[in-house]
Amino acid sequence: MSGRALACTAASVVLALTPSALAVAVDSSGGPSAQQLAQEAKKNLLAATSVHLKLTDHSAGTAANKNSPTFMDLTLDRKGNCAGTLRMGGNGGSVELIKQGVQVWMKPDTAFWKAQVPGPQGGAVAQLFKDRYIHGTTNDSMLKGLSGTCDLNAFQKQVDTGPSSAGKSLTKGAETTVDGTKVIPLTGTENGKRAVLYVSSSTPYRLVEATQQGRGTDTTLTFSDYDKPVPSATPSPDQSVDVGKLQQRLQST
């Protein structure tokens, strides 16, 4: 499982309406234009040292793929620290993920083990390591891919350098509310997909939610807790199993 691929999945929702791609800004309500709001929201997202992301993906292709997240709830920072949960499509289960520096803990549920470890071995591994975290470092191949999800720098790079499309229009809507925050919706369409960026209506202008729908795509990505530290609590030794024991188990069967 590629953490970089997960970053790309989340970033693609935002890239649908990156300010660099906006050749036309439609604004009839006064105040900052749609383009100005989008530019400020992008600037503040790229400047964030940490952020809390929630991705919900109802796309048909994702729902059937046990290696793609249909739900992701992560707090992550530029240092690569993170804490949260991922739930996979295709009955692929879910996994709790904690990363501090190079140290990584993951706690899969039974469905995740069965999806990732083929045959009856999956169920046996799930029972053996039930309710415990697998602990190791980013040097371990079994943890490296998943822990790559924690890379806020990679996500920001995707947003900053993603492809643009000239001639795209963006419409500023009336103020509304998302999760208790007053926002301005910025709406556009590209390649048959309708995307909406919900930007806070007062300074600092920040992206609160982004949605994309159409042509097999149905995703929602929310942003909160800009610049708030990632929770630093880590599992105790009695809650954890060294990843080496998992490797031994897999090699012995």
Most confident of 140-149, 185-194, 196-205: 196-205
User: What is the pLDDT, as a whole number, of residue 166?
Assistant: 40
Most confident of 54-58, 127-131, 232-236: 232-236
pLDDT in tens, 225-250: 999 999 999 999 999 999 888 877 77
For the cut 70, the answer to whether the pLDDT of residue 27 exceeds it is no
Cβ-contact 175, 195 below 8 angstroms? no
> Taking all residues of the chain, what is their mean pLDDT, rounded to a whole number?
84
For the cut 70, the answer to whether the pLDDT of residue 15 exceeds it is no
When pLDDT is averaged across residues 6-13 and rounded to a whole number, the result is 58
Indicate the pairing of strand 168-172 with strand 181-190.
Answer: antiparallel
Cβ-contact 172, 26 below 8 angstroms? yes
User: What is the pLDDT, as a whole number, of residue 9?
Assistant: 57
When pLDDT is averaged across residues 61-76 and rounded to a whole number, the result is 87
Name the pTM for this structure: 0.86
Residue 164's H or E segment, with its range, is: none
Hunting for tokens 């990632």 — which residue is that?
Answer: 230
User: What is the pLDDT, as a whole number, of residue 157?
Assistant: 86
Hunting for tokens 């371990």 — which residue is that?
Answer: 140
Q: How many of the other CB atoms lie within 10 Å of CB of 239? A: 13
Going by pLDDT thresholds of 50, 70 and 90, the confidence category of residue 23 is very low
pLDDT in tens, 134-164: 999 999 887 887 777 888 998 888 888 765 5
When pLDDT is averaged across residues 204-208 and rounded to a whole number, the result is 96
User: What is the pLDDT, as a whole number, of residue 245?
Assistant: 81
Assigned token pair, 168: 């795209």
Q: How many of the other CB atoms lie within 10 Å of CB of 169? A: 15
When pLDDT is averaged across residues 175-203 and rounded to a whole number, the result is 92
User: What is the pLDDT, as a whole number, of residue 29?
Assistant: 57
Going by pLDDT thresholds of 50, 70 and 90, the confidence category of residue 24 is very low
